[in-house]
A and B are shown apart, each in its own frame.
Chain A
Amino acid sequence: MTAEPLAAYAVVGEVLADLEISAAWLVDPMSGREGAADIVVRAGIVETVTWLDGDDTGAAGQGGIIVAPGFIDLHAHFREPGNEDAETIASGSAAAAHGGFTTVCLMPNTTPPLDEPGVLARVQAAATASGSPVRVLAYGCVSAGRAGEQLAAIGELADAGVVGFSDDGSPTRSAAVLRSALEYAGALGLPIVEHTEDLAMTEGAEANEGLVATMLGLRGWPASAEASAVGRALAILAEVVREVPGPRLHLTHLSTRSALELVRRARATGLPVTCDVTPHHLALTDAWIAGSRSWAWEDGDERAAAPFDASLRVNPPLRTPDDAAACLEALLDGTACAIATDHAPHTSVDKHVEFGQAVNGISGIETALGVVLAAVDAGRLPLRRAIEALTTGPAGVLGARLGRAVGIVEGETAELVVFDRADRWTVSSEALASKGKNSPLIGRELPGRVLVTVAQGRVAYLAE
């Protein structure tokens, strides 16, 4: 299957009239099945899914054309309202579709923050106006104004349709507020998505505390700043669970072995906690700041690039190869249920500056698939587990608020991505649909070119 025949009769935003994919490799994490299949979509509806076996499979295989349910990103920043110079809902949605994502959950740290339903209405209106079929969901703030002192309008926001609550960008400052939020949102069946960071330990911090930061003279960001905040959240959750039915805690972008180990143990005791890891924390390391461009699981030239590339400044910081390995282990054993991008686009004014003066964040929603596939190619992550962590895993965190089932099911509206694992593409400013060009992968070739993304039965992305 190639994209060329499609381009003739498919237009982004419009209902997908006709798509026939023969002998592709279908990964369906809902049924746990993967294999060669023919898929036919007509008028936006999955008409037939035919699993093939024996001689019919042809050239289909894990290394070729892959069809999977559309990806779900639990963590993205589209900057609207307030910072439309960095990203808009329209540009972010185009970037998401380019990355194979059909659903995004936006963090509420906009200007103004999404702490009351009026801001959510603006986000929803912008999503509709964009013409993109990518589903734009949003979290509300935990605290009013993200100030960490009083609860935001949690009940009203829940009624208006948010998918959970987060003060992301920073932790919920007050432990007392975090406790109330877990209780209050728990009663409404919605998760608290916590950014775990002990701010007292990270003031001015620039890079993971360790050998690289020491050698480069960068202010250290200790692993314990994450683990101690995870410990705080878990201790609170353990008490709330005894008092209230239904609290849920989701810890986002965990980056250290010690924090992931705390979550593993907490889950073993039955606490309702889940977590995600980002593509950059599982594949990149702090050695990149010194000039390495090797994946976390590789040995390589420590000086492949100039040091201090500010596009690598991110919160939490890139960690050691052992921490990256721990992120992969957490995905493999289910401690982490999702890969979330923490797509954080920024303008060059904020990023093309001195390392320590750059704002934190990586524009990553378009490179997520390629980075994850690099781990798959290296034998570090089975393809099916990678797809689960991009689809059913995050769907489990969203629950009923996702508003649909995950899967490629006959008779249902098509929600899928088609990509070619054998085809590579080069990341460049021009190739990124996001306004945020702050990617440390610019210039790098990634595996797995997305050919077509279909959301809500409509064309979201189509390769040229």
Chain B
Amino acid sequence: MTAPVSERGPAPVQPIVPTVDEAPGLSPVPWSHRHLLDVDILTWDEIELVLRTADAMREVLARPIPRVPALRGRSVTILFYEASTRTRVSFEVAAKNLSADVVNISSASSSVAKGESLVDTVRTVEALGADMLVLRHPVSGAPHLAAEVFGGSVLNGGDGWHAHPTQALLDLYTMRQRLGSLAGRKVVILGDVLHSRVARSNVWSLTAAGADLWLCGPAPLLRGFGAWGPAAGFTVTTSIDEALHDADAVMALRIQRERMAAGLLPSLREYAARYGLTRERLALARPDALVLHPGPMNEGVEIAADVAAGAQSAITEQVRNGVAIRMALLYLLAGVTR
């Protein structure tokens, strides 16, 4: 696997910004991906195009009526096999802001609960007129199977432990907004890295951005990353003090109770005491360090309530930017299948 091209290359002379008020694909943009299954397939130029398109979407969101007709007549199906509020609603709002028709399917309310296969479900969704499919699934790689059989575009809304590309791109967008270029900036991902699709996708986008990336957590939750780090260019440590020292941004990951049952951790209490992001710990980072969390949060466990709500927190901006990033990706993907 090859990492995306680093941002430390020569910048394009005249960056193309899509005119998002018109239908996608009318004006040429350097984007050829029909599906977005992970960020590892994107070049740095393509990542920058997504971020610029998100800028244009932010401008739309700032309008009195935050809606453009770009995806009028397109049908976006949001198929979620996992409970989720923020990601599902974020995709729905993004698609509606682009004037797409939106169909929502959650696994409890469809024949999925009766054992219908993913392949059958995807074919049915396509036959019912879906142009784009947003898929959330608990099994790693499921969107690749969907993309194999779906005639339109598949947008990965998070699969298993594997990938969560829209989250990684909105994280990147949020950090760049506050910190400017991430080249050489120290970014820490803290907590349950092993089970985290957010961490995996962020590895691709943050190393591509040239960040000094650190992954930190208890050893059983870093399993396997020690071998990946040297190849991808990130640092792995169990020492939270070392990780947070002079950090420019810290992202805490959700910790789940299942990890105790699986024998990976002694207790949530011990986790909070040793790895919780508290005000005292945050003081090890740079004074203006950014605090992020992909949500949903366990306040008082992986992150203290006052840190989550503090001045350095960008957590609500992440949510707001999530809509802009998802609008940008729906728009770019729609331009390929026009």
Name A's B-contacting residues (CB within 8 A): 206, 209-211, 213-220, 290, 302-303, 306-308, 310, 349, 352-357
B151 in the interface (beta carbon within 8 A): no
Question: Does B280 reach chain A (CB closer than 8 Å)?
Answer: no
What are 23 A-B contacts with C-beta separation under 8 Å?
A206-B140, A211-B224, A211-B227, A211-B231, A215-B1, A215-B200, A217-B160, A217-B161, A217-B162, A217-B197, A217-B200, A218-B162, A219-B161, A302-B1, A302-B2, A308-B141, A352-B145, A353-B119, A353-B145, A354-B142, A355-B140, A355-B141, A356-B139
Q: Find out whether the CB atom of B163 lies under 8 angstroms from the CB atom of A214.
A: no
**Minimum CB distance partner of A349 in chain B:** B117
B144 at the interface (CB under 8 A from A): yes
Q: What 5 A-B pairs come out closest when comparing CB atoms?
A: A308-B141, A217-B162, A214-B224, A217-B161, A354-B139
CB contacts (< 8 Å) of B147 on chain A: these are 306
B227–A356 contact, CB under 8 A? no
CB-CB < 8 A to B161: which residues of A? 217-219
Contact of A216 among B119, B145, B162, B223 (CB under 8 A): B162
Is the pair B140, A218 in contact by a Cβ cutoff of 8 Å? yes
B141 engages A216 (CB within 8 Å): yes
* Residue in B119, B145, B163, B231 whose beta carbon sits within 8 Å of that of A217 in the complex: B163
Residues of A within 8 A of B162 (CB): 216-218
Cβ–Cβ < 8 Å partners of A307 in chain B: 141, 144
The CA of A215 and the CA of B144, in the complex, are separated in Å by: 15
Is B118 a contact partner of A354 (Cβ separation < 8 A)? yes
The yes or no answer to B136 lying at the interface (CB within 8 A) is no
Cα distance A352–B117 in the bound complex, in angstroms: 9
Q: Which residue of A lies closest to B226 (CB)?
A: A214
- Is B31 close to A, CB under 8 A? no
Q: How far is the CA of A354 from the CA of B200 in the complex (A)?
A: 19
Is B186 part of the binding interface, using a Cβ–Cβ cutoff of 8 Å?
no
Give residues 196-215 of B contacting A (CB, 8 Å): 197, 200
Complex CA–CA separation, A303 to B3 (angstroms): 13
Tell me the bound Cα distance from A388 to B86 in angstroms: 61
Decide if A211 touches B139 in the complex (CB within 8 Å): no
Q: Which of A210, A216, A306, A357 interacts with B227 by CB under 8 Å?
A: A210
Which A residues lie within 8 Å of B223 (CB)?
209, 214, 220
Tell me the smallest distance from the CB of A15 to a CB of chain B, in Å. Answer: 46
Apart from A218-B161, A307-B144, 18 more pairs, CB < 8 Å? A210-B224, A210-B227, A211-B227, A211-B228, A213-B224, A215-B1, A217-B161, A217-B163, A217-B197, A218-B140, A302-B1, A302-B2, A306-B148, A307-B141, A352-B117, A353-B117, A356-B160, A357-B139
In the complex, what residues of A have CB within 8 A of residue B141's CB? 216-218, 307-308, 354-356
Nearest CB to that of B117 among chain A residues? A353
Nearest-neighbour CB distance to chain B for A20, whole angstroms, equals 49
- Beta-carbon nearest neighbor of B228 in chain A: A214
B164 to chain A, nearest CB (A): 10
Chain B residues within 8 Å of A210, by CB? 224, 227
Q: Is B88's CB within 8 Å of the partner chain A?
A: no
B271 is an interface residue with CB less than 8 A from chain A = no
Q: Which residues of chain A are near B1, meaning CB under 8 Å?
A: 215, 290, 302-303
Contacts of B197 in A (CB 8 A): 217
Closest to A287 in B: B1
Most chain B CB atoms below 10 A, which of A209, A217, A352, A355: A217
B224 & A308 in contact (Cβ 8 Å cutoff):
no
B2 contact set on A, CB distance < 8 A: 302
A353 touches B163 (CB 8 A): no
CA distance A220 to B160 in the complex (A): 13
How close is A151's CB to chain B, nearest CB, in angstroms? Answer: 32
In the assembled complex, the Cα of A460 lies from the Cα of B197 at a distance in Å of 51
Contacts of B144 in A (CB 8 A): 306-308
Task: Point out the residues of chain A lying under 8 angstroms from B224, CB to CB.
Answer: 209-211, 213-214, 220
B275-334: which have CB < 8 Å to A?
none
Interface string of B213-240 (1 = CB under 8 A from A): 0000000000111011001000000000
Measured CA separation A283–B232 after assembly (Å) = 27
With A217-B162, A218-B161, A302-B1: A354-B137 Cβ-Cβ less than 8 Å: yes
Contact B139 A355 (CB under 8 A): yes
Give the Cβ gap from B44 to chain A, nearest Cβ, in Å. 18
A356-B200 Cα distance, complex, nearest whole Å: 18
CA distance A215 to B227 in the complex (A): 10
What's the Cα separation between A357 and B115 when bound, in Å? 12
Q: Contact between A356 and B140 (Cβ–Cβ < 8 Å)?
A: yes
Q: Which residue of B lies closest to A206 (CB)?
A: B140
Which B residues are in CB contact (< 8 Å) with A218?
140-141, 160-162
Q: How far is the CB of B141 from chain A (nearest CB, A)?
A: 3
Also in contact, A214 and B227, with CB within 8 A (given A306-B144, A354-B137, A355-B141): yes
Residues on the A chain within 8 Å of B139, using CB? 354-357
B200 touches A308 (CB 8 A): no
How distant is the Cα of A303 from the Cα of B227 in the complex, in angstroms? 20
CB distance from B154 to the nearest CB of A (A): 12
A308 engages B140 (CB within 8 Å)? yes
Q: Which residue of chain A has its CB nearest to the CB of B195? A: A217
B153 to chain A, nearest CB (A): 15
A interface footprint on B69-85 (CB within 8 Å = 1, 0 otherwise): 00000000000000000
Instruction: For the complex formed, measure the closest distance between the CB of B125 and the CB atoms of chain A, giving whole angstroms.
Output: 16
Question: With contacts A206-B140, A217-B200, A306-B148 known, is A353 near B228, CB below 8 A?
Answer: no
Question: CA–CA, A217 to B1, complex, Å?
Answer: 14
In whole Å, how far is B130's beta carbon from the nearest beta carbon of chain A? 19
Fill in one digit per residue for B174-207: 1 if any A CB lies within 8 Å of its CB, else 0. 0000000000000000000000010010000000
CB of A197, distance to nearest CB on chain B (Å): 18
Q: How far is the CA of A214 from the CA of B2 in the complex (A)?
A: 15
Residues of A within 8 A of B140 (CB): 206, 216-218, 308, 355-356
Choose among A219, A290, A302 the residue with the greatest number of B CB atoms under 10 Å from its CB. Answer: A219
Q: How far is the CA of A64 from the CA of B49 in the complex (A)?
A: 56
Kindly report which residue of chain B lies nearest to residue A292, judged by CB atoms. B1
Q: Which of B2, B141, B228, B231 has the most CB of A within 10 A?
A: B141
On chain B, the residues within 8 Å of A353 by CB distance are 117-119, 145
